[in-house]
């Protein structure tokens, strides 16, 4: 590793208090994960969490490549680049940040950190890849010059990867925070116009530009769409919205995305929060159509999904999650052994699924309901139930799932339940294709031993959000013979299973902030308290007045009043 100060111009560092704190954490070599567990500030979590790498960790860099990284900041993705490349040169204008980056990436011998501005730095060699995450936003006034400089540093078959925020992104339309940045108030934010960037890139001779759409944005990327695999309504739940503690939400971002898709599915790309552009001079094709992560899970359950070549591949994100991939492999074997059909296969620690362009079962059910074929839709749901009930091996009430999660369930309720030995609890309508009158299941990651089939059906209905528009939950549960007492138990079980899996940090960020409704309730509550206080004071005054009046009307007061008059007359005499 090398720290190059040849191009550094001594200057005052205008770092924020949070940035200074982050540098101190990195320099002290603290355990980032332990710090993040108790952290609520988005800026700190973003700087220290490995989730920032998601924007780039999936990309198929060529072997033995060289990478130039502009504005490395705190090194959030630098270590990932060092893992992918033969040589990484990282540029950062702040000397303090560069020193922290050096500390953070001290084990990488293939890293050179240059302190300075790209306009002033002279390079001896060109690069295979140039990474620009938010660079143009920070240097908006000079971004054309930067792009010209970057092109001169790119090898003949090189690639630029750059990200920037969208002024019309829904996070700027549906909420704000202590920065007060919105689509119409951009005083504290620099936005780059995508049309301007495209024009400049084409002017510079770049023939191949591919758009990627990261959600929720390029900071905490959980899923990446492309024009070859655009977002659908089923996918909206993958948009894991995050908030600051100071966030004020005007309306639900994901609901707005759904409304846009209803109006015109092609319009949604104009409302993405961020863009990632892959820019090449040569007309080469990258066939990756879709990428997803599982940010809302604990590290041991996180996987990376990549769609390409007509297949979907699932990989462990880290050493811890290899065991989770092994469980998925076991689940595939269970499905095959039972006689259920699946699109999934595996090879070592990679899950491989055939990509199908057929409609998923939930889409088929919704289409039937739209055509007023309610009875057919219900029969299909009942057929789904019979399929898994008949083919999955029957379990036992002994050592059932409720005992393991310490959920109270009486004997009478247990007797009414049909238990599955290997309870694949994510057998939902979304995870099933219906092809030639046969069910094909996929994406079965989860399993609980001795699980009631009614719980599987309960979840299939609970997370089938669009169904509620046509059939209310109570009606469909009644058809499936799932009564209210079971639902109460299943709610507890679902909560405990989710809690076991859930990433508490992201869950906290997702639920932070306030809605307009919350603020209105607080205001009404505050006004009510003021009114109550005023009423209490008023009542107190009235009580005192009454007490005084009672005193004035009392015999003792009247007697004393007469004595005072006599005393006053004597004084006069």
Contact 124, 94 (CB under 8 A): no
Q: At 528, is the pLDDT very low, low, confident or very high (cuts 50, 70, 90)?
A: low
* Among 461, 478, 511, residue at a domain's last position: 511
| Burial grade of 9 (CB within 10 A; 0-12, 13-18, 19 or more) | exposed
Residue labelled with tokens 């990446």: 224
Evaluate whether residue 442 is within a structural domain. yes
Q: What is the mean pLDDT of residues 226-236?
A: 89
For the chain, what is the largest distance between any 2 Cα atoms, rounded to a whole number of angstroms? 121
Evaluate whether residue 464 is within a structural domain. yes
Evaluate whether residue 394 is within a structural domain. yes
Contact 212, 276 (CB under 8 A): yes
**Do both 431 and 501 map to the same domain?**
yes
**Do both 377 and 504 map to the same domain?**
yes
Cα 129 to chain centroid distance, Å, stands at: 28
Q: At 530, is the pLDDT very low, low, confident or very high (cuts 50, 70, 90)?
A: low
Angle between helices 453-462 and 484-501 (to 10 degrees): 80
CATH at 398: 3.90.1200
> What distance in Å separates the CA atoms of residue 78 and residue 512, rounded to the nearest whole number?
29
Of the CA atoms within 13 Å of residue 48, those in its CB half-sphere come to 27
> What distance in Å separates the CA atoms of residue 244 and residue 254, rounded to the nearest whole number?
17
pLDDT over 80 at 554, yes or no: no
- Number of structural domains (the chain) is 2
Residue 532: the pLDDT is 63
Of 211, 70, 224, 68, residue with least CA distance to 137: 70
**Do both 507 and 368 map to the same domain?**
yes
State pLDDT tens for residues 273-319: 999 999 998 877 788 999 999 999 999 999 999 999 889 999 999 99
Mapping DSSP to helix (H, G, I), strand (E, B) and coil, where does residue 133 land?
Answer: strand
Q: At 496, is the pLDDT very low, low, confident or very high (cuts 50, 70, 90)?
A: very high
Tokens of 8: 């550094």
**Do both 381 and 496 map to the same domain?**
yes
Pairing of strands 290-292, 175-176: unpaired
Contact 306, 291 (CB under 8 A): yes
Q: At 538, is the pLDDT very low, low, confident or very high (cuts 50, 70, 90)?
A: low
pLDDT over 80 at 475, yes or no: yes
Q: What is the mean pLDDT of residues 458-474?
A: 91
Write out the DSSP string of 237-262.
Answer: GG------TT-EESS-HHHHHHHHHH
* Among 461, 485, 511, residue at a domain's last position: 511
Residue labelled with tokens 């191009």: 7
Number of helices and strands in the chain (H, E): 22, 22
> What distance in Å separates the CA atoms of residue 493 and residue 459, rounded to the nearest whole number?
11
Residues in the chain, total: 573
What is the 3-state secondary structure of 265-276?
CCHHHHHCCEEE
Burial 420-459 (b: 16+ CB within 10 A, else e): bebbbbbbbbbbbbbeeeebbbbbbbbbbebbbbbbbbbb
Write out the DSSP string of 370-409.
Answer: HTT-HHHHHHHHHHHHHHHHHHSPB--STT-HHHHTT---
Evaluate whether residue 486 is within a structural domain. yes
Q: What is the mean pLDDT of residues 198-226?
A: 94
Hey, what's the torsion of the CAs at 297, 298, 299, 303, to 10 degrees?
Answer: -20
pLDDT over 70 at 11, yes or no: yes
Evaluate whether residue 160 is within a structural domain. no
Residue 548: the pLDDT is 57
Q: What is the mean pLDDT of residues 519-523?
A: 79
> What distance in Å separates the CA atoms of residue 126 and residue 110, rounded to the nearest whole number?
16
Give the domain extent around 444.
361-511
Percent of the chain with pLDDT over 90: 69
Contact 451, 395 (CB under 8 A): yes
Residue 546: the pLDDT is 66
| Alpha carbon separation from 560 to 547, 548, 556 (Å, rounded) | 17, 15, 6
**Do both 414 and 367 map to the same domain?**
yes
Contact 442, 431 (CB under 8 A): yes
Mapping DSSP to helix (H, G, I), strand (E, B) and coil, where does residue 165 land?
Answer: strand
**Do both 451 and 529 map to the same domain?**
no
**Do both 494 and 519 map to the same domain?**
no
State pLDDT tens for residues 313-362: 999 999 999 999 999 999 999 999 999 999 999 999 999 998 888 899 99
Q: At 549, is the pLDDT very low, low, confident or very high (cuts 50, 70, 90)?
A: low
* Among 496, 511, 526, residue at a domain's last position: 511
Q: How high does pLDDT run on average in the chain?
A: 90
| Alpha carbon separation from 131 to 163, 267, 470, 533 (Å, rounded) | 9, 28, 47, 60
Residue 553: the pLDDT is 63
> What distance in Å separates the CA atoms of residue 323 and residue 306, rounded to the nearest whole number?
19
* φ and ψ at residue 89, rounded to 5 degrees: -115, 120
DSSP 88: E
Contact 431, 443 (CB under 8 A): yes
Evaluate whether residue 440 is within a structural domain. yes
**Do both 430 and 446 map to the same domain?**
yes
Percent of the chain with pLDDT over 70: 92
**Do both 494 and 452 map to the same domain?**
yes
pLDDT over 90 at 401, yes or no: yes
Among 191-205, 322-336, 370-384, name the one with the lowest average pLDDT.
Answer: 191-205
Evaluate whether residue 494 is within a structural domain. yes
* φ and ψ at residue 42, rounded to 5 degrees: -60, -40
**Do both 550 and 561 map to the same domain?**
yes
Facing residues of 91 across strands? 114
State pLDDT tens for residues 242-251: 999 999 998 9
**Do both 485 and 519 map to the same domain?**
no
pLDDT over 80 at 187, yes or no: no
Residue 133, preceding peptide bond in cis (omega within 30° of 0): no
pLDDT over 50 at 573, yes or no: no
Q: What is the mean pLDDT of residues 391-415?
A: 92
pLDDT over 50 at 35, yes or no: yes
State pLDDT tens for residues 253-273: 999 999 999 999 999 999 999
**Do both 402 and 495 map to the same domain?**
yes
Evaluate whether residue 86 is within a structural domain. no
């Amino acid at each position: 590793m090398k720290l190059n100060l040849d191009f550094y111009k001594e200057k005052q560092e205008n770092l924020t208090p949070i940035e200074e704190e982050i540098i101190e954490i990195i320099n002290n070599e603290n355990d980032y994960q332990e710090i993040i567990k108790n952290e609520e500030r988005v800026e700190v979590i973003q700087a220290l969490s490995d989730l920032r790498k998601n924007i780039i960790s999936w990309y198929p860099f060529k072997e033995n490549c060289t990478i130039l990284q502009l504005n490395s900041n705190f090194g959030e993705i630098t270590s990932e680049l060092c893992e992918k490349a033969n040589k990484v040169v990282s540029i950062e204008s702040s000397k303090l940040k560069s020193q922290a980056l050096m500390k953070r990436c001290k084990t990488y011998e293939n890293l050179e950190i240059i302190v300075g501005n790209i306009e002033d730095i002279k390079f001896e060699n060109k690069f295979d890849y140039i990474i620009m995450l938010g660079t143009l936003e920070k240097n908006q006034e000079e971004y054309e010059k930067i792009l010209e400089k970057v092109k001169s540093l790119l090898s003949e078959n090189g690639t630029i990867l750059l990200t920037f925020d969208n002024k019309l992104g829904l996070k700027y339309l549906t909420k704000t925070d202590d920065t007060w940045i919105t689509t119409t108030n951009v005083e504290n934010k620099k936005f780059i116009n995508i049309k301007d960037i495209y024009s400049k890139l084409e002017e510079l001779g770049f023939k191949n530009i591919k758009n990627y759409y990261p959600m929720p944005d390029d900071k905490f990327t959980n899923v990446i769409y492309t024009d070859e695999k655009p977002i659908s309504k089923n996918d909206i739940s993958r948009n894991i919205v995050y908030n600051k503690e100071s966030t004020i939400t005007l309306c639900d971002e994901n609901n707005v995305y759904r409304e846009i898709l209803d109006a015109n599915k092609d319009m949604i790309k104009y409302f993405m929060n961020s863009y990632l552009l892959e820019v090449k001079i040569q007309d080469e094709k990258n066939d990756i159509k879709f990428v997803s992560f599982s940010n809302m899970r604990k590290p041991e359950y996180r996987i990376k999904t990549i769609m390409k070549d007509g297949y979907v591949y699932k990989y462990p994100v880290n050493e811890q999650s290899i065991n989770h991939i092994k469980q998925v492999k076991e689940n595939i074997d269970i499905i095959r052994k039972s006689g259920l059909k699946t699109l999934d296969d595996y090879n070592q620690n990679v899950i491989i699924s055939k990509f199908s362009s057929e409609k998923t079962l939930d889409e088929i059910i919704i289409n039937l309901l739209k055509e007023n074929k309610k009875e057919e839709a219900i029969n299909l749901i009942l057929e789904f139930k019979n399929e898994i009930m008949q083919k999955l091996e029957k379990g036992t009430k002994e050592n059932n799932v409720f005992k393991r999660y310490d959920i109270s369930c009486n004997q009478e309720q247990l007797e009414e339940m049909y238990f599955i030995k290997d309870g694949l609890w994510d057998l939902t309508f979304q995870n099933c294709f219906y092809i030639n009158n046969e069910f094909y299941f996929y994406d079965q990651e989860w399993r609980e031993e001795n699980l009631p089939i009614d719980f599987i059906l309960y979840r299939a209905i609970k997370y089938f959000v669009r169904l509620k528009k046509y059939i209310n939950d109570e009606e469909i549960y009644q058809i499936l013979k799932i009564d209210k007492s079971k639902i109460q138990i299943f709610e507890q079980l679902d909560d405990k299973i989710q809690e076991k899996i859930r990433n508490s940090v992201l869950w906290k960020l997702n639920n932070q902030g306030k809605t307009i409704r919350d603020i209105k309730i607080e205001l009404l509550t505050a006004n009510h308290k003021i009114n109550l206080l005023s009423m209490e004071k008023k009542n107190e005054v009235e009580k005192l007045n009454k007490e005084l009046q009672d005193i004035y009307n009392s015999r003792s007061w009247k007697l004393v009043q007469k004595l005072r008059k006599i005393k006053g007359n004597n004084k006069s005499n």
